[in-house]
Every structure is written in C-alpha cells, then in structure tokens.
Structure 1
Amino acid sequence: MTAATSPINSTVQPISRLVHDRLGPLARRFSHEDGAVGVLPADLSDLEVVTGFGPTNAPTAGTLSVMIGIIELQQRLGVPMTVIVSELGAWNSRNVAWEDLLRVRDQMLSFLRAIGFDDNRGELRTHLHEGNLTRAGRIARYLTPADLAENCEDLNDLYDSHGLLGGEVGLTVDSLYTVADILGPAENGARNILMVSGMEEAYFTQLARIVLERQRTAGDLSLGWEAEVGAVYFRVIGGLGGYPKMSKSIPASAIHLGMNADDLRARILSDAPADQPALFSAIDLASGWGDAQIRAARSSYDARDADPITWAQVKSDYLDTFVEYADQWKRCAR
C-alpha cells in the first residue's frame, strides 16, 4: 500500500486488543485496522458499516470469505450496513464485458441473500444508484490527480501485466464511485463509518479521509459532513501457485464458485506444496465451519507432512462444502 502524502497519514496497524474485544470472535477474520478504534464506540452508537464487491467473475474463496464475514459482522453488530456490488466501477477499472458484469452482479446479489444477508438490517445496492453518482460528482472537487496517483491498488501492475486493467480515466472514475460509497453515511448524517474490505483497498480509506478533511475547511464550498472513517481489513487468502491472493481476475490463482466439481476437485485436493497454505486459509476463512472443526483442520494442516492422509481427508471435506456453495451460486443465476 502506498501511503498518502496528504496531511492525513496512514495509521494501518495490526488489529488492536480494543478492536479485537469489540468484534469478539469475528476479529480472527481481520488482520489489520486503520483508525477503527475511533469509530467503534463501546455501545456502537451512530455507526454504519460499508463494504462491497466487484462483479467481474464468480466469487473466489477469498471473496466468499469476505461474504461470510460481512454476514457474521451484520449479525454481531446489528448496525446499518451497506453492501455495494459495483458493476459500474468494475466496468471502468477492469476489462470485462458489460453484459457479463450485469449477469454476475445480479447473481451476486441473490447469492448474498441466499447465504444470510438480512435486507431488514442493511442495504444491498449497485453503482447504478442516483444518490451515489451524484455524491461522486460532488466529492470530485476535493481530490487531485496526485491524490489518486499516490493512493492506488498495489496489485494494479499485476492486473495490468495480465491485460485486465482499465484506462487511467476509468480508474479515476472507479475511485470516485468507491469513495462516494464510503461517504454515503456521512452525507446522511452518520458520525462513525467503518469500512470493511481487503487490505488491497486500504487506499480508499485514505482518499475518503482526504475528502472529509478538505471539505471541512472549504468554507462556503463545504459539504458540512462531520463523519470519521475507520477501517478493518480482512485476512488475505493467498493464491494457488504462489500468487499473492486468490484473484477472480487471475484464474490460475483461485478456486471459485463458477468452477465445475471436477476442476474444484483437482485444485482443492492438490498435493503441490505451494498450494497448501492457500488451501488451509480457504478452509479457515471460507468454509463456514464451526470453531471445533476449524481447530481440527488446523491441527491436520500443521501435521500434514507426518500424516498426509488426515490432511487429505480435511481437504476432501472442504471440497464437499465448497461444491455446496458452488451449487448455491449456480441456483442464483438469472
């Protein structure tokens, strides 16, 4: 992650004890925080949560882990939550056909509800949303090209090398939409915003803070927003074959819900040494298994060299679980 050179410095750090206590058992899903203590009051009053997904392809195990995590977070915190499936942002930042984005978007919305997202306690929406498009236009005046150059995704070079990255203007548009997503609660009067995402999206936290700070000091051009933004970042599931993460944009790195059972079997039951850490991370974070079953899986993973048969059985059990999620994903297709 590239630190901003604005007056608002990055404060990304490992999850603190205070945030750990306030998130309870869910804290195990997160590796780092950025100002989360300041927006997580003990009584969770005046807090809104924002997160989102790009519909470029069927969810990988990494994306599934985040989906499971936000549903658990919704259940634990009981505060307003907005989840955005960002088809318009993805159209500008990735080289994916529009019809494919719409198809995956609708499937993703249905899948999130199917695995437990509660519409009565949160909002699922897309980037085709008049309020967010207007908000993106209003915040653009507070950002400069230098801000966007200094706060961007670390994996952009990797995506670009695979021919997946959109153009410079498109990336700017995507950033404006996403920062507008984060600041939606501020426009509605919220004082505390918790952004929940992967660490590769930490730069959006910085951009949102730049907007908040500059509009506060803009005099007659201020928006009057008084919110604070904090963030917690999900643990990353490493990619198969040594890739830094499971990415839906790099198929060789991932298992995903659109794969057929035979392909999932080949990848999840892989014996390749480079694949094993990623497979355990997927089991740990993207299974929905209970604590006891996860502990047993960890023991088997740690002892895999001495007892490969037990570890192979754990992976076989996970194959069954992942195929169940994949079947649910297929049932959610329009």
Structure 2
Amino acid sequence: MPTEPMAGPRSRSVREQLGSLTRRFSHMDAADTVLTPRTADLHVVTGFGPTNAPTAGTLSVMIGVVELQRRLKVPVTAVVSELGAWNSRNVAWDRLAEVRDQMLAFLRMLGFDESRGRLRSHLDPGNLARAGKIARFLGRQDFLEHREELLELYEDHGLLGSEVGLTVDALYTVADILEPAERGHHHTLMVSGLEEAYFTELSRLVMQRQSGAGDTSLGWSSRIGALYFRVIEGLAGYPKMSKSIPDSAIHLAMGADELTRRITSPEPADQRPLLTAMELASGWNDQTVGEAREAYLRRERDSAAWARFREEYLATFLHFAEQWQSCRR
C-alpha cells in the first residue's frame, strides 16, 4: 500500500489518537488500521543508526518517539542498529559501538520509559534468530525493488558497504519490525523517516508469504501500519540532514564554534532547514514555535527577529549537545 499524506478523512482516527503530535509526521501507510481506540495489543517499533552523533533530524525523531510513547501508552521498542550499520556503511566497529551506547543513554535522558518499552541493539539473539527465520521468504529481487532512495547519494560519497551487507542490514531491520508479530501482537506500528518506507513493504512481504507457506509457515498474524516523520531538510542544499554527509547537518558532537556558524548562518539555502529544526528538534512549546515561524516568514522585512530565533535555537541545541556529551562513557 503506498504512503499518503497526513490529511483527509482516512487519517481522522490517526489524528484523534495522536492529537498535536500529528504535526511531526508527513505521511502514513495504513496507520489507521492499527491506530484505533479499540487496539489493545498495539506495539510500536522504531530504530536509529549509530554512524555518528544525532543530527537535528535524528534528534527530532528521538524527541518524537518519546512523545509518542507518552501519548499512546503502549509498548515501544527502539533499536540502535549497530550491526546493521556495520554491514551497510563504511564505519569502524569501535565507533559504532561507542555511539550505540551513547544513543541508548541519551534516549533514557530524553525520557524514554523502559517500564513501557525496550531499548536494545542488533546484538540481540532473538532478533538474529528471527532474521534467520524470515530470510527464506525474501529473494534478491525483493531487495532490489525495495531499497533506500538515497543509496546513490551515499554511494557517491563512498559510504556504502557491499550489496550483501546492505541486504543483511535490511534483513535485520525487517526482523526488528516483525518482533511484535513473533510475540503474538496483532497490530504493529512502525515509525521512521519516509526514506525507510521500504522496510515496511519488505515486512509485509514476509508476513504475506509465510502465512501461505503451509507447513513452513511461522504462524504469525499481524497488521503493519507505518507513520513517517517529517524530514528536516539538509543544509547546503542537501535533501535531508544525514549523519553520513557532514556538510548537510548540525549534530550533537559538533563544537560550539561550528554550531554557531551553521545555526546562525545567513545563507538563504539554510533558512528553511533551520526553521524545520526549530519546529521538530527543539522541545519548544507551540507558542514559541509559532513565533519562530512568523519571524521566518517576515525575515526579508525584519531580519533581526529571525536572527534572534536562530540565536535562541543555538542555545537550545548547545544544551542538547551538553546532554549528549554527558552520556559518553
């Protein structure tokens, strides 16, 4: 099922469930089939790649996941996918393990409630066994047809692993999404960036094929819906802020001088990404976000007001950066 924007009558039940959180999502994919007041066994799954410190885009998803957990009051599994990243990106293992541990601690600091969810990595025996179980239901052509849209961009920057490594990464992530089904949940909500929608499609293929596999069926039965977070556009004209493309982003390990240069940048191409970061990766209340949006719209007539909000966001982001550093072992 193709994704659709978060608008129209089909998404009414989703808006009712999410309330003001709806603004964090740009698209949905059958989310209305799992997000209903009658769903008692809903489980939410999300994940983060530890290739680098969180960008503003990753921070926005982390904040959004914590808010979603509080809003829905259902179990949430958040995965930091170091083994997947090891296979799909050219990053040293020690670096991935270091950022993984820091991310897990940072999610706790942001308020992730482990009494109502689980934080784990890909070094999880259950997930590795599950990946082995589902591999028989997918073929090479499936991974060629369902792939990340930005692969060519990452390849141009020399960031990708081998074709087999990319397949293994996808297999682990599909296993993440299908964990609730294996545990007997009949409604799964996957939340991620829109560029990861192909994982949802691969997960549905596994569910469909195993259900008709006769004696080799896994016996799993679960609807899978998805919500996709809004993208924070990249600096310097890149389509999104990416941990793998340093020029595109601000991230939490960046020094104060570099953050100051980027967040207070007057470059026209950087202004829209900075506004989106304020909207999604600040923790500001709705009133302050609205005032920032107005200042952005008036920036040609009143550049000083917009500059003040960039300075305020700099202070906010530096605070998150301090929290990030405090989570380092």
**TM-score, length-scaled by structure 1:** 0.97
Say whether 1:213 aligns with 2:208.
yes
Is 1:265 the counterpart of 2:260? The answer is yes
1:74 paired to 2:65: no
Instruction: Output the amino acid matched with 2:235.
Output: L
Partner of 1:54: 49
Once the two structures are TM-superposed, the CA of residue 11 in structure 1 deviates from its matched residue by 2.3
Where does residue 275 of structure 2 map in the other structure? 280
2:232–2:241 Cα contact (<8 Å) kept: yes
Q: Which runs of 5+ in 1 are unaligned?
A: 1-9
Query: In the TM superposition, what are the counterparts of 1:131-142 in structure 2 within 5 Å?
Result: 131-142=126-137
Equivalent position amino acid for 1:132 in 2: N
Q: Do 1:186 and 1:227's aligned partners in 2 also have CA atoms closer than 8 Å?
A: yes
1:29 corresponds in structure 2 to 24
Alpha-carbon contact 2:282-2:316 (below 8 Å) kept: yes
Counterpart Cα distance in 2 of 1:69 and 1:41: 19
The CA distance in 2 between the partners of 1:61 and 1:40, in whole Å, is 27
Q: Which residue of 1 is the match for residue 119 of structure 2?
A: 124
* Corresponding residue number in structure 2 for 1:45: 40
Q: Specify the alignment match of 2:226 in structure 1.
A: 231
Q: In the TM superposition, what are the counterparts of 1:100-249 in structure 2 within 5 Å?
A: 100-249=95-244
State whether residues 234 and 242 of structure 2, in contact with CA within 8 Å, keep that contact through their aligned partners in structure 1: yes
Match of 1:13, as an amino acid?
Answer: E
What letter is aligned with 2:31?
A
Q: Matched residues in 1 for 2:141 and 2:37: separation?
A: 37
Find the counterpart in structure 1 of residue 308 from structure 2: 313
Contact in 1 for aligned 2:77/2:117 (Cα 8 Å): yes
Q: Distance in 1 between the 2:182 and 2:317 partners?
A: 39
Give the percent of matched residue pairs that are identical in Structure 1 and Structure 2: 62
Partner residue, 1:13: 4
Contact 1:61 1:286 in 2 (8 A): yes
**Deviation (angstroms), 1:20:** 1.6
Deviations 1:96-154 (A, max 9, x none): 00000000000000000011111111100000000000000000000010100000000
Tell me if the contact between 1:44 and 1:77 (Cα under 8 Å) persists in the aligned partners: no
Alignment partners' CA distance in 2, 1:41 and 1:299: 35
Aligned AA for 1:183? L
Deviates more, 1:42-51 or 1:307-316: 42-51
Aligned to 1:97: 92
* CA distances 1:206-255 after superposition (whole Å, capped 9, x unpaired): 00000000000000000000101000000000000110000000000000
Amino acid at match of 2:217: S
Runs of 4+ in 1 over 6 A off after TM superposition: none
Unaligned runs of 5+ in 2: none
